[in-house]
Structure 1
């Protein structure tokens, strides 16, 4: 197992008594983040849920904000821009954009787990403009070109 990467975290006044994001199990890839506010999401509604935290992510990393699978399956609550990206140079409050795809209002209480945070390395691209690209078996075949779900058997 690799050594953990240190991420500076600042508790904001409305998050002083809340737990820091943490891993639920030793093998977990994502840390559970909790809400620092009470909010009800009506069906179809979106809201940037406050966490009461701001971060200094090391250069060369990002934090990906991902939905919690149980909220998505049981209630239709998800992160609409999955995965959301928190860049290393952002210093504002970490907020989790949630949307209610369910048919009922969904209440979030302060302290409820609302998302998972995954620390991930970032590699920046350097564009190399060319006049032609190399050929592949797939070529320009796009959406569905490798077969539909029936092909999976």
Structure 2
């Protein structure tokens, strides 16, 4: 019988094998990573558009009940809080949002201004990724924007 000591195999990877695997993983991350981050940015734009539609629905329902949009001072918070005026409080049938008032996907409040010349009667928008007026691509303003 032969001894098992002669056929002893060592388990594990060599340093060279580990380096090759790390290089391959690095290349894959370099190719796939930017595409995934691009999709995340596009998803934020889509989320903002969806939230703006939700806020618009709340504003239109508020107007149906009270006969007017919330004032600029009341802002979008009026969709979840009854008015202080007793007569209007009786007409208020809110809350008009299912949850709390959302921030835009970049952590900034949505901009709201009633009495616009826009067909819907108000301005409602996000300044986009850069948080500033104007911009292009991901930095572009999203929603019912002021003209000009």
TM-score range for the pair, normalised by the shorter chain length: under 0.3
TM-score by length of 2: 0.22
Higher fraction of helix? 2
- Greater radius of gyration (CA): 2
Q: Give the structure, 1 or 2, with the largest relative contact order (CA under 8 Å, sep 6 or more).
A: 1
